[in-house]
Structure 1
Amino acid sequence: MITDLQARARDLNARYGHLEGVELLQPLIETEFKGQLALVSSFGTESAVLLHMVAQIDRDLPILFVNTRKLFGETLRYKRKLVETLGLTGLRELSPTTEAEAANDKDGLLWRTSNTACCDFRKVQVLNAGLAPFSAWITGRKRYQATTRIELPLFEAADGRIKINPLAGYTRADVESYLDRHGLPRHPLEEDGYLSVGCMPCTDRVAPGEDIRAGRWRGQEKTECGIHLPLSSATNLVGAS
């Protein structure tokens, strides 16, 4: 059954599918979803591109950052640097509550036995709560990043919201070119071989010639943390916020 949200996603693709970058984001931020839109950023190795685009339109736009409390210190410092450099004022840092951690991961080692359960309560449920006030959100996903993203549209309907993927058609070369062209600071771990950065326990260096996301959950079939999977597929752990 086609929902109104799916119909709106199709309409948005039809009207804005020929645009990219700031030209695409500006009408979405200022008109289509004014006051209802947030950018979700991991402040990873490619995050500066979207953050820079948004800063040119509305530096007050809500930016949701999930601090799982398992992140690299370098990521937290990079976040502070980008926020200051770009003059972003809408940052909202989201984390699991101490009660959720006590209920789900008392010793902090859940990632060893079930990284899917760890991602669910530290990221998926936390972000879902943070997205509650918004009807749409911007992601940094790109088609080249994984086989699960090859057919990624610019707009999609998911879990009661519109998801916007402004960089869906970008290649790795496009990302590199944008970062260089605008003189944007790089994630400090990138030069040490971490080309895609997530939580510290589940992120590894990428060897020359490997896929950019090869260091994420290395040696496992897992390719997604879960925030871009249907909520019905998430594990519902007790006590998460």
Structure 2
Amino acid sequence: MSTISQAAHAAEAAILHSAQTLDRTLRDASPEHIIETALKTVGREQIALVSSFGTESAALLKVMADVDPAIPVIFLDTGWLFEETLAYRDTLISVLGLRDVRSVTPLEETLSRQDPERELWFSDPDACCRIRKVEPLARALKPFSAWINGRKRFQGGARAEIPVVEEDGERLKFNPFANVSREEIQAIYKLAKLPAHPLVASGYLSVGCMPCSSRTLPDEDARAGRWRGRAKTECGIHTMKAS
């Protein structure tokens, strides 16, 4: 094994050890305490929160803002988002006093080469997510050594067993809402009088890109409207290791 490979392996092992140690420590901690610990562990300049500004996003953003509203927030503007989502982003920035929201877009060169007709979402949704979400996020996370996201175990599927802290390639990944229930999220909205995403009232309980989001029926899971009719359940940013 080369010296560079040995160093990379040692660094990855150190991050994994740190993630496992933090996960044990924070297993039953509140979301506020998890974010506070994340800040103390790596510092504000080395951590970012990634938010879709979707139907449940305001709760985590509220908790983060109460801890430190200057934590960088990365928003993936895929080029396929609902206008309501873009407006909701601006509303929450104002309501919560967020100081550093960074909207990240796909590279125009990549779109022109791989999706010139804007039909990739239909023929190969995984490839569409890769060029519009996964690659832009990897680019946006390069300056950071840790990131925060809003996945919850109650969402089921691949999310049912997520830890509070995990290793994500070269970074630590904090999941402060891993243990939070849907009722607790609703309580945060009610207590803080947070505005709902504009599309919730018309039946969208989980909102992503326009072509791959649909209304959810009363007896369906909240994420049933995402990639309806396909085996796909994740966009890829949580299933591919960041580098």
Q: Name the structure 2 match of 1:104.
A: 114
In angstroms, what is the RMSD of aligned CA positions? 1.4
Q: Name the structure 1 match of 2:3.
A: none
Q: Secondary structure at the match of 1:184?
A: coil
Measured in 2, the distance between the counterparts of 1:118 and 1:14 equals 36
Q: Name the structure 1 match of 2:5.
A: none
The reply on whether 1:28 has 2:38 as its aligned counterpart is: yes
Higher mean Cα deviation, 192-201 or 18-27? 18-27
Question: Does structure 2 conserve the Cα–Cα contact (< 8 Å) formed by 1:155 and 1:163?
Answer: yes
Measured in 2, the distance between the counterparts of 1:214 and 1:46 equals 15
Higher helix fraction: Structure 1 or Structure 2? 2
Q: Secondary structure at the match of 1:153?
A: coil
Q: Name the structure 2 match of 1:10.
A: 20
Measured in 2, the distance between the counterparts of 1:74 and 1:187 equals 8
Question: Does structure 1 conserve the Cα–Cα contact (< 8 Å) formed by 2:38 and 2:174?
Answer: no
What's the offset of the Cα at 1:103?
Answer: 0.8
Measured in 1, the distance between the counterparts of 2:240 and 2:120 equals 22
Q: Secondary structure at the match of 1:54?
A: helix
How many residue pairs match? The answer is: 231
Higher mean Cα deviation, 1-10 or 117-126? 1-10
Question: Does structure 2 conserve the Cα–Cα contact (< 8 Å) formed by 1:71 and 1:198?
Answer: yes
Corresponding letter in the other structure for 1:70: W
- Percentage of pairs with the same residue: 43
Corresponding letter in the other structure for 1:76: L
Higher mean Cα deviation, 189-198 or 13-22? 13-22
Question: Does structure 2 conserve the Cα–Cα contact (< 8 Å) formed by 1:111 and 1:118?
Answer: yes
The reply on whether 1:49 has 2:49 as its aligned counterpart is: no
Corresponding letter in the other structure for 2:145: S
What's the offset of the Cα at 1:171?
Answer: 1.7
Q: Name the structure 1 match of 2:205.
A: 195
Q: Name the structure 2 match of 1:227.
A: 237
Question: Does structure 2 conserve the Cα–Cα contact (< 8 Å) formed by 1:127 and 1:227?
Answer: yes
The reply on whether 1:183 has 2:168 as its aligned counterpart is: no
Which structure 2 residue ranges, 5 or more long, are not aligned? 1-8
Q: Secondary structure at the match of 2:179?
A: coil
Show structure 1 runs of 4+ deviating over 6 A.
none
Question: Does structure 1 conserve the Cα–Cα contact (< 8 Å) formed by 2:58 and 2:92?
Answer: yes
Q: Secondary structure at the match of 2:225?
A: coil
Corresponding letter in the other structure for 1:164: F
Question: Does structure 2 conserve the Cα–Cα contact (< 8 Å) formed by 1:159 and 1:230?
Answer: no
The reply on whether 1:83 has 2:93 as its aligned counterpart is: yes
Measured in 2, the distance between the counterparts of 1:207 and 1:79 equals 25
Measured in 2, the distance between the counterparts of 1:144 and 1:16 equals 18
Question: Does structure 1 conserve the Cα–Cα contact (< 8 Å) formed by 2:65 and 2:98?
Answer: yes
Q: Secondary structure at the match of 1:92?
A: strand
Deviations 1:170-218 (A, max 9, x none): 1212211211111101000001110000000000000001000000000
TM-score by length of 2: 0.92
